[in-house]
Amino acid sequence: MAAAATACFLSGPSPLARPLSRPRHSLRRLARAAAARPPAGPLALPASPRRLLRDLVPGPVAEAARRALAAAAGPLVVALASAALVLGDAGAASAFVVATPRKLQADELATVRLFKDNTPSVVYITNLAVRQDAFTLDVLEVPQGSGSGFVWDKLGHIVTNFHVIRGASDLRVTLADQSVYEAQVVGFDQDKDVAVLSIEAPKDKLRPLPVGVSADLLVGQKVYAIGNPFGLDHTLTTGVISGLRREISSAATGRPIQDVIQTDAAINPGNSGGPLLDSSGNLIGVNTAIYSPSGASSGVGFSIPVDTVGGIVDQLIQFGKVTRPILGIKFAPDQSVEQLGLSGVLVLDAPPNGPAGKAGLQSTKRDAYGRLILGDIITSVNGTKVANGSDLYRILDQCKVGETVTVEVLRGDKKEKIAVVLEPKLDET
């Protein structure tokens, strides 16, 4: 009742307000008192409801009203603010309104902080190619693709995927502050889809990502992907690790990439080469591919583990290439061998100047009548069974250049063991 009476009093005369003005004071004296008080805007609101009653309604009535105000302080504040708005004094009304601050959950705050801290380390890479105009015959440099990358060290090394820079005549790297730098290719590894670029940028603009470990990852832990999907710079997607130790094939050579991380974080075209981070902001992988019949993110993305990337990047920075051993053969597709009812790797060609040719492995050929004579079928290397080409690559990845391996082959109806000295893979251009 006290709150209602006061609100009516502030908004104008009413039956509830008139009895408060009759004891010991006349309306004329109240008018003189109001005229003597200096104005304070459209409506001079007192500092508090208690002061309002003390100044305008002294005496026993005011004392009773003050007791009622003590019990109805909350509703009275709302009534005062409403009355001030009705009378047109928005400034006075705002004094009674308390804005509720934006509240984020702990996990939201952690995600926001992770994105803010690591975004300066992610770069945007533009792949430029030379094209000749069909009418003017002018040579033009046009963008043919784009992707993501990240700062590896303070020396200006940028890590990305090989397929992001493939076929480029010129490369440009855009940092988080939108500064653009010409990039030079330090080296690349087609088999593992990794490339290293170099830019000449001030060290204060280069913020390397902290490198984590991928060997102890667990299915279900949270991961965060930062990249530039569809040219939209610095986009964050989140998810979990949905699988470990997956195997995918390199888009350039078809060679298998082992121990790949599978995640349901959205990875779209343009995310390639961007970092995959754990909840601490440490680099655990490089986003490289998606499995999608439609071409868009279907919830299955793949990242090359940082343990694999780290060794490759170190070799590329130091030597400009990755030294990987080879047998020096060309082999038939796995489906062809399966159709023959065999298991292993069928040698199609073993050049005489290659490791396998020097050791005596036989190629597939035709006789004088055009009949096909199958070459050697590799069934094991160093005692490890070889059922297909992926098995062969997996074994060779664990070997070193100059190492002698024992290759068991099926030649006709007989099995033979041949010693082969592995040689380094020829440089790619």
Active site residues: 163, 193, 272
CB 24 within 8 A of CB 60: no
As a whole number of angstroms, the distance between CA 413 and CA 405 comes to 23
* Two tokens, residue 241: 């690790």
Nearest alpha-carbon partner for 302 in 109, 141, 104, 163 = 163
As a whole number of angstroms, the distance between CA 227 and CA 240 comes to 17
As a whole number of angstroms, the distance between CA 371 and CA 27 comes to 125
As a whole number of angstroms, the distance between CA 206 and CA 226 comes to 17
Backbone angles phi, psi at 197, to 5 degrees: -110, 170
Backbone angles phi, psi at 227, to 5 degrees: -170, -160
By CB atoms closer than 10 A (0-12, 13-18, 19+), residue 163 is buried
CB 250 within 8 A of CB 226: no
Nearest alpha-carbon partner for 175 in 203, 134, 138 = 203
Backbone angles phi, psi at 128, to 5 degrees: -110, 140
